Amino acid sequence: KQEVTQIPAALSVPEGENLVLNCSFTDSAIYNLQWFRQDPGKGLTSLLLIQSSQREQTSGRLNASLDKSSGRSTLYIAASQPGDSATYLCAVPGYSSASKIIFGSGTRLSIRP
Amino acid sequence: NAGVTQTPKFRVLKTGQSMTLLCAQDMNHEYMYWYRQDPGMGLRLIHYSVGEGTTAKGEVPDGYNVSRLKKQNFLLGLESAAPSQTSVYFCASSYPGGAGELFFGEGSRLTVL
């Protein structure tokens, strides 16, 4: 059974710092891994989608990496801003049941001005 | 560009009442999902559909029913609401195969008294 873990559950850093959020998964047979952002009271917004054949994806100040063999993904945020404050979640569908996408519990990020 | 739309956004029910949540997507996606999100529990899959006329159970299907009569719509029903079903419900859709990007609605907040 696929399990997805995100540590830490919460993170607070001063504005301008570069930071890394972690996501680990137990079953390396995945189609892809997706990172989402969720603002309070809102739905989830897709940030980056990494296919299983890729090592990383970049969008603006965000860079996501994927290491299937170790069951890990990281989301790197460069030059953090207060507007980056949100909860970040990762999600993976498995090969055995690609329809069942499993989510981590998220990292709540706070950027201090 | 509506994407995924959920109605209603808020609802208060009394124990034993029934209701239906509607999810509509305009991206011609095959796959649709219903999740619930609870504090400390993360996102849990209730039911999903891989195409018009088909549905399947997720992690927490008890107390819910679904229907996918049209490709663009996915309905979630509560036949006899219970306080344990107080939650925020999210609908999502994607292209098939697990390789597609997942898109979410804004959520429906349900309170059962």
Chain B interface mutation, best of A44, A66, A90, highest count of B Cβ atoms under 10 Å:
A44
Measured from the Cβ of residue B67, the count of other Cβ atoms closer than 10 Å reads: 15
B36 to chain A: which residues are within 8 Å by CB? none
The answer on pLDDT for A91 being more than 70 is: yes
Chain A interface mutation, best of B7, B34, B43, highest count of A Cβ atoms under 10 Å: B43
Whether residue B106 and residue A43 make contact (CB cut-off 8 A), yes or no, is yes
Nearest-neighbour CA in chain B from A31: distance (Å): 6
- A43 and B97 within 8 Å at the Cβ level: the answer is no
Specify the 3-state DSSP secondary structure of B73. strand
Asked if B42's CB is within 8 angstroms of A101's CB, the reply is no
Per-residue pLDDT reduced to its tens digit, A3-32 = 899 999 999 999 999 999 999 999 888 888
Preceding omega of B39 cis (within 30 degrees of 0): no
Is the pLDDT at A95 greater than 60, yes or no?
no
Q: What is the DSSP letter of A16?
A: T
Model confidence at A98, pLDDT cuts 50, 70, 90, reads low
Whether residue A106 and residue B99 make contact (CB cut-off 8 A), yes or no, is no
CA B27, B32, B34, B39 torsion-angle sign: negative
Residues, chain B, total? 113
CA angle A98, A29, B58 (to 5 degrees): 30
Distances (CA, A) of B112 to A95, A100, B87, B109: 37, 27, 9, 10
Chain B residue with the nearest C-alpha to that of A95: B98
User: Residues B27-71: pLDDT tens digits?
Assistant: 999 999 999 999 878 899 999 998 999 999 988 999 999 999 999
**Substitution target from B35, B45, B102, B103 for chain A, most A beta carbons within 10 A:** B102
**Residue A9: closest C-alpha in chain B:** B40
Nearest CA to A51 among A63, A34, A37? A34
CA atoms of B88 and B9, how far apart (whole Å): 9
* Cα–Cα distances in angstroms (integers) from residue A9 to residues A47, A85, A97, A105, B76, in the given order: 19, 14, 27, 8, 30
CB contact under 8 Å between B98 and A89, yes or no, is no
